Amino acid sequence: MFTVLEKKVLADEIKLFEVHAPQVAKRAKAGQFIILRVDEKGERIPLTIADYDREKGTITIVFQEVGKTTRVLGTLNKGDSILDFAGPLGMPSHIEKTGRVVCIGGGVGVAPIYPITRALREAGNHVTGIIGARNKEIVFCEDKMRQVAGELFITTDDGSYGRKGFVTDVLKELIEKNNCMPDLVVAVGPLPMMKAVSMLTREYGVKTIVSLNSIMVDGTGMCGACRVTVGGETRFACVEGPEFDGHLVDFDEMSLRARFFQKEEQQSMQKYLCSCGGKCNG
């Protein structure tokens, strides 16, 4: 059993858990993920590692309550346990000194972009961070990102915090600045955001890495549920990813696959809400 040592509510329906998982923390690296199962009847879901502490033996995960499993996970409190917590899985981020790097996090993608930003900064890169959110209420991890990014920009769709607009607006300005052309862009977040970032950087020939959190079952390449098309070839996000060249990813196909079980997910959520009278928030 894996004990929740710390629980924080970061924003509306976004929660942070610090989980005691010493064997996972011992090997974890930026960009990797874990697959957890809350209880014996629960489904397995992947979550990118938001942070790790080898000395304490902990893994930090951040998730948004969007379906039954994340809603159930959110009901856990400090001292509660998670049945399965497998990892670290996937390939870690490729960290090297590249030069100018822009790290972009959208929505809950801000959590996993943090350790990547930190690792790139420690490798000697000049790192600029961009955080994107729908509104001020769901902006989080700002302080931690400011500690590892040379400069940080925040955008909100409605303009309630930072500047109004999208992460691509800031990215385009940075690219077009004299002597500020980035050597690498790393983006983690919703598919539409990563697609938009990749389309923009393709125009300027800027190398772009995205993290694909596709549907997964076993997380070891056996089931094939996580397959994505990259450069016209089928790749498995769980063992060959989750990071891929954003210019080669078929985002349209991935978006369709992400909605494949939408009906079943809605039915499962409805049954869960009915079983608890709609009072299942943690």
Superfamily of segment(s) 2-89: Translation factors (2.40.30.10)
pLDDT of residue 280: 61
Give the confidence band of 130 by pLDDT, cuts at 50, 70, 90: very high
Ranges of H-type helices in the chain: 22-27, 68-74, 110-122, 142-148, 167-176, 191-204, 237-240, 251-258, 262-275
* The pLDDT of residue 245 is above 60: yes
Region of poorest pLDDT, from 104-113, 167-176, 209-218: 209-218
* The pLDDT of residue 261 is above 70: no
Question: Where do you find CATH 3.40.50.80 in the chain?
Answer: 100-258
Contact predicate 129/186, CB 8 Å: no
* The pLDDT of residue 224 is above 90: no
* The pLDDT of residue 281 is above 60: no
In DSSP terms, 106 is beta-bridged to 132
Q: Which amino acid is at 68?
A: K
The b-or-e profile of 210-221 (16+ CB within 10 A means b, else e) is: bbbbbbbbebee
Answer with the residue of higher pLDDT: 274 or 202.
202
CATH code for the structural domain at 100-258: 3.40.50.80
pTM of the model: 0.89
Query: What's the mean pLDDT when you consider all of the chain?
Result: 91
Average pLDDT over residues 49-75: 93
Question: Where do you find CATH 2.40.30.10 in the chain?
Answer: 2-89
Average pLDDT over residues 172-200: 92
68: closest CA among 238, 272, 281, 277?
Answer: 272
Query: What is the chain's Cα-based Rg?
Result: 18
